[in-house]
Amino acid sequence: MAAFTNMSTRGVRDFVARRIFVPGSKKGLLKFVESIHRYHDHLRASAIGKAGGGERDTLTTERANLAKLQAQEVELRLARARGEYVPLSDVTDGWAKVAQIVRAQGLAQTSRIGAKVPHLTAHDRTEIATLNREMLEAIAEEVAALQVLGSAGGAEFTSDQPVKAKPKLTEVKIPTNRGRPQGVKDSKPRAKRRS
């Protein structure tokens, strides 16, 4: 069996002990066909990582998992360097600034309306201010219900976790209609089709 499988005699004894090779009726003999079938099954299982090799297979699996994690870490660093990911703290700060701008513009709307429409009474301006505040409160309640920041699906985010960034817009392609931008008509009228 050792010569046929290109193994050492020690390897054959190990496979007999692990019940991959089937012992024969006499001591020192093996059932050849059944042993070869089990040996092939063992090789297939080893190839897909399901062999019952105990510690050795566990170590192999752990090494594979470690290599996968290291590859993901390198990929994440490269993505950060390319600007595809940004830290969550940067995103949070950016959205906080957007929220402050929206709030300031919403509250300033009353003054702008009063300047554009001078015949409004003080009561009208108060009502407009109240409506603007209610609108901002409704927006705040909807955002809080969405749980935009904090936990999403039970996973807690930390400030150093990356968030996928949108690609930068470097050029805009205008859709065309036969070489002309859409919505632009020919300067020459087209000939009508005859039916």
pLDDT in tens, 105-137: 888 888 888 889 889 898 998 999 899 889 888
pTM score: 0.37
- 154 vs 61, higher pLDDT: 61
Do the Cβ atoms of 113 and 120 come closer than 8 Å? yes
Place of tokens 């990911």: 85
Q: What is the pLDDT of residue 70?
A: 95
Average model confidence (pLDDT) across the chain: 74
Closest CA to 117 of 102, 105, 128, 103: 128
Confidence of residue 52 (pLDDT cuts 50, 70, 90): low
pLDDT band at 56 (very low <50, low <70, confident <90, very high): low
Rounded-to-integer distance, Cα 159 and Cα 45, Å:
43
